[in-house]
Structure 1
Amino acid sequence: MDGTRGIGVRTAAALMCAAALSACGAGGGTADGDGAGTRSPSPPASASATPSDTPSDAPSEAPAEDPAKDLDRLAVEQNWGIDGPASAWIARMCAEFDDQDRAGQPPGKWLVEDFGPTPDEEAALTAGMPELCTRWWPEIGKALGAVEKRAYPDGVYEVSGAPGEDPELIEPGTYRAADPTASCSWQRTSPDGDVLDGQRATTKAPLTVTVQATDGTFTTKGCGVWKPVR
């Protein structure tokens, strides 16, 4: 009886061990076991966590500057009275400077004395030429500075052959008021005070007047700024 019990206990233990081994095999086996039940090693955690070569939050490159588009946008914002896109107008003026130079006429002198730019055109030249017409900008920039010094707003000016920096003197020559008011008036008088010529405007159209070397004074009111054209 005791021997039978011992055999039964051993048999039961063996069965339990077999069942345990079977369960281990069904669950995938041991980490170092061979055979179909062996689990494949998981990929390293670093493989799935490798950062992208280009971070998604990297700053984008700034767009390239375009001086022509910048000038055209400025012209629209400032409402310049330019014939066509400002950049195209600068290109035409630059070509004209080349033509004047080939003809023996200094471009700066031609611009001030023959062309006579309006205030809007002066603004376009000043803003656009440093980038779009670099070869002529030094000379044109200097000429535009001379134009600014010889601009005459409302006032009474004594005619002088050498006005220099005196704000009360005006040099003989032809002047243009590009943006007068509808009540603009101007007058030329002799050294004795006699009226030689004059005009009272009824529209805002640009005006031109020639101050002679023999004139005594030039008086202007409501005409904006007079600038030399030749």
Structure 2
Amino acid sequence: MRYPFLAGAVTVLTVAALAACGSSADGNGPEAAGAQRPAASGPAVPGPSTEASDPPATPTAPAPPKAPAEPATEDPAAPGPPSAPAATAEGPKTPTDQLTPATGSFTKKQKEYLEDRVPQGMDPAAVLQTGQETCDKLRYLVRVDRDTAVGAIATEEITDAPAAVAGLCPQHQDLVDEAAYAYPDGTHTGKALRPGVYRSASPTTNCSWQIEGAGGKELASGSSDTGKSRKITIPKSARTFTSTGCYAWLAEGAKG
């Protein structure tokens, strides 16, 4: 789930993420609940550049006139050249043994990440770049605020993070593991509920929550307009947990 204050941070994330690519100093940042979260969208991939043609040489003598060429006929119904399919498009995928970049080669881990991810007709390097950008975003976020990084995975604001981490940046596996026990905004019921203490990660100033037991009986509820992190306890008797505007709730202590 995104919030309006994320939109202005796209440029900051892009520059900082690329600058941080060479650094592996991941760690816990201060618990900056309500801190500005960079947007999850990555930079656009530039297309191929076009070269200007050389200016025509000045003729030394006038050339004889040429016969006018017949005008080309164009069928308005004729289809144009097919566009490359999106990375998430359904359809046949490029076999693993055919995943080769234009230059160089893919590592074993990169090929494992690309397996069943590259639609036929798409450059596998473009799909790989998407995964690498995901790792760059996580590397940046975890340096700014670890809770926000975990929350971005739990809410799927950073898409496909588990696969990118497993194949391209395994040093962030702890973030993915913690996100698996987090609650993004929404309603959670049944087996999805796990008793324990949780803290809100980067809540908005309109954060509210409600915990209900059997028969819809309210067990706890609350709200916060400060944008600061809050802690709640989900008891064993809880049957429904609803959160709005709190972004994500991260488990405290042991998971299970």
Q: Which has the higher helix share?
A: 1
Superposition TM-score, scaled by structure 2 size: 0.34
Superposition TM-score, scaled by structure 1 size: 0.38
Larger Rg, first or second structure (1 or 2): 1
State the structure with bigger RCO (CA 8 A, min sep 6), 1 or 2: 2
